[in-house]
């Protein structure tokens, strides 16, 4: 039986890496993104022999959330894995951060994940797995109060939902640290080098490092793990 995985934010970055790995491990993919570039990912996965489809949707709106649910219900049937990966940043010092920017980050990173998860509750197969994409930043990051609030809130949501849905569905979170991405490469080189120097593992993380953690939590190998946060940061969260 082919396992079905729904991945949000699948057009690029971590979502793309997660989609590629889940596809390589035999999942059929439903990618959800508000960017039309998600169709490029679908084409790539189909070329590689994976069954893949997409829904272009903005998960901050109830109508689009229902549209995703209906698409999944009508075309795929029960879902085995839901990965809530979609997220944004709107960084600024708290004193100068616009209220709209604070609200937008919480809306996309936390509330949209909550809406889609609840919408797909009846579509998730018994024994299924939800993986929420939090961040090491949940421990605190200067200039990212909105992002920190959204990602720490996602951890609380993960733990609460794990209790509510046990034993039928497992719910866990992955918390990446500094990962090689267009966002990190946009930093001034000296800033990026300084951050990497503080990572005990001695290198920046790769998107595939995060994808492997997600794939593990989504698999039957993690059948006795729920309500947990797997931090993928090269040890940065324990470094001075």
Across 111-115, average pLDDT: 97
Concatenating the DSSP letter of every residue in 117-186 gives HHHTGGGEEEEEEEEEE--GGGG--TT-HHHHHHHHHHHHHHHHHHHHHTTTSEEEEEEE-SB-SHHHHT
Per the model's pLDDT, the better-predicted residue between 215 and 91 turns out to be 215
What's the pLDDT at 77? 85
Interacting residues of 166 by C-beta distance below 8 A, sequence separation 6+: 226, 227
Q: Is residue 143 pLDDT above 70, yes or no?
A: no
What's the pLDDT at 138? 64
Across 193-221, average pLDDT: 96
Note if 147 is an active site residue: yes
Q: pLDDT tens across 59-72, in order?
A: 999 999 999 999 99
- Across 6-10, 87-91, 109-113, 114-118, least confident range: 87-91
Q: How far apart are CA 129 and CA 169, in angstroms?
A: 6
What's the pLDDT at 101? 82
Catalytic residue among 147, 157, 209, 231: 147
How high does pLDDT run on average in the chain?
92
> Per-residue confidence at 193, pLDDT binned at 50, 70, 90?
very high
> Per-residue confidence at 175, pLDDT binned at 50, 70, 90?
very high
Count of residues in the chain? 240
What's the pLDDT at 148? 85
What's the pLDDT at 137? 73
Per the CATH hierarchy, to which homologous superfamily does domain 3-177+208-232 belong? NAD(P)-binding Rossmann-like Domain (3.40.50.720)
> Per-residue confidence at 170, pLDDT binned at 50, 70, 90?
very high
């Amino acid at each position: 039986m082919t396992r079905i995985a729904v991945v949000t934010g699948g057009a690029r970055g971590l979502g793309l890496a997660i989609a590629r790995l889940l596809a390589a491990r035999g999942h059929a993919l439903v990618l959800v993104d508000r960017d039309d570039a998600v169709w490029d990912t679908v084409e790539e996965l189909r070329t590689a022999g994976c069954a893949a489809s997409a829904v272009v949707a903005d998960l901050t709106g109830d109508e689009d959330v229902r549209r995703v649910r209906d698409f999944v219900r009508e075309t795929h049937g029960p879902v085995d894995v839901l990965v809530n990966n979609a997220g944004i940043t709107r960084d600024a010092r708290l004193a100068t951060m616009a209220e709209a920017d604070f609200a937008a980050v919480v809306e996309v990173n936390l509330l949209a994940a909550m809406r889609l998860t609840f919408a797909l509750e009846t579509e998730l197969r018994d024994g299924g797995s939800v993986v929420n994409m939090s961040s090491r930043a949940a421990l605190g990051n200067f200039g990212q109060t909105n992002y920190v609030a959204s990602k720490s809130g996602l951890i609380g949501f993960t733990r609460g939902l794990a209790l509510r849905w046990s034993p039928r569905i497992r719910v866990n979170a992955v918390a990446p640290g500094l990962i090689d991405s267009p966002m990190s490469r946009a930093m001034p080189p000296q800033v990026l080098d300084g951050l990497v120097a503080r990572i005990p593992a001695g290198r920046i993380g790769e998107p595939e490092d995060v994808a492997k953690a997600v794939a593990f939590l989504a698999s039957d190998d993690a059948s006795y793990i729920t309500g947990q946060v797997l931090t993928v940061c090269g040890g940065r969260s324990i470094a001075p």
